[in-house]
Amino acid sequence: MDSEQNINTNSQPSQPDNNSIPPQPCASQPIKKRSGWRIFWGIFTGLSVLSNIVLLLAIIGMGVLLSGEFGGLSSGEEEQFTETVLISGSRTEKIAVISIIGIIEDEMAQAVARQVQVAGKDPKVKAVIVKVDSPGGTVSASDRINYELRKLRDEYNKPTVAFMQSVAASGGYYSAVACDTLVAEPTAITGSIGVIMETFVFQGLLEEKLGIKPVVLKSGEKKDWPNPFKPVTAEQEQYLQNKLIKPAYNRFVKVVTEGRKALSEEQVRTLADGSIYDSNEALSNNLIDDVGYFEKAVKIARALGNAQNAQVVEYRKVFSLANWLSGRSNVALPSLDRKTLTEFSQPQLLYLWRVDQ
């Protein structure tokens, strides 16, 4: 019996030894390989993001340092401008350059006002050069620029020199005449003292082409003069001349008479027929004081400010990272809405030299 038990025990198939089974290919190996790449790209992406953050902070820090190096302006609105050295000299004395370039409108008037405040409050600024290259613009903006520039002399006791480049006509001259001394390049065009008003008449387009007949309800006869949906009558022209053109023209004459002490009001009115003048004609008619290039304007400004070795700096707008990141642009796509139509049809009263007239 014992033998049978032994036989039965021996006859049972032997259990395989796990240690003797050859290793099979592990199905998880490709997963480990992919996990390794994930770790690699994770580290790489993290380092890339970190390096970009460090680079951005470095750029911002460099901007702050450069602002300080170039006489970085103080807090508030003044931070929108910084100083760029145009002509080297003593860093304890400065001649500041304010630019009026292009069509004069509200935004430019605001920028000039901020720069005037910066130059006026800076004790190192001994004189200011106003660089003008403009055919003019709106009446109100030109008048505000003239008002702000006169503050440099009247409130801050700083002499000013207007330097006229290629064009300083109409509102450009209106602005420049606020300065103590006017210098024009030999090829500059100036003058065009006068006012122009523009409006549009859409009657033919709306009624004849589109079949649209506007309906205007008003409280008085003159409420809609000039009406962009009807032709301008002789009576309306005379009304606009008396109410808009003549007052703006008389103010232009008054500003020039006050700014150009060598000219009487009668002489100014003789010159103020809308004519343009080259630099030599302007000089002979006492509309300017000298003819020359920027170096001459600098020489005069240094003499007026009693700062012969002063460095010359120009105010320029600081790059706005926030505006750039937000995608803001000065170029706006046109849109046809009520506001646009109203602005388009509203008469424009301008101190502007129009070469297409």
Burial of 153 (0-12, 13-18, 19+ CB in 10 A): middle
Residue 194, CB-side half-sphere exposure with 13 Å CA sphere: 16
Please report the pLDDT score of residue 246 as a whole number. 96
Domain boundaries, the chain: 79-321+340-352
How many CB atoms are closer than 10 A to CB 183? 27
Q: Name the 3-class secondary structure at 253.
A: helix
Say if residues 134 and 103 touch (Cβ distance below 8 Å): yes
Please report the pLDDT score of residue 78 as a whole number. 43
Please report the pLDDT score of residue 341 as a whole number. 52
Nearest in space to 284 (alpha carbons), one of 167, 150, 178, 191: 191
Please report the pLDDT score of residue 43 as a whole number. 75
Q: Which segments of the chain does DSSP mark as H helices, in order? A: 2-11, 29-69, 106-121, 139-154, 171-176, 203, 234-240, 246-259, 265-271, 279-284, 294-304, 321-325, 338-345
Please report the pLDDT score of residue 222 as a whole number. 82
Please report the pLDDT score of residue 22 as a whole number. 54
281-290 CB burial, b ≥16 within 10 A, e <16: bbbebebbbb
What are the pLDDT digits (tens) for 211-238? 677 677 778 888 877 877 778 889 988 9
Among the four given CATH numbers 3.40.50.300, 3.90.226.10, 3.30.9.10, 3.40.50.2300, the one describing domain 79-321+340-352: 3.90.226.10
10-residue block means of pLDDT along the chain (357 residues)? 45 48 51 62 73 73 51 46 92 96 96 96 97 96 98 97 97 98 98 88 64 75 78 88 95 98 97 96 98 98 97 84 48 51 65 71
Please report the pLDDT score of residue 276 as a whole number. 96
Q: Name the 3-class secondary structure at 350.
A: strand
The tokens describing 77, both together, are: 């609105």
The tokens describing 271, both together, are: 């010159």
The secondary structure of the chain in percent helix, strand, coil, rounded to multiples of 5, reads: 45, 20, 35
- Name the average pLDDT for the chain: 81
Q: Catalytic positions, please?
A: 170, 223
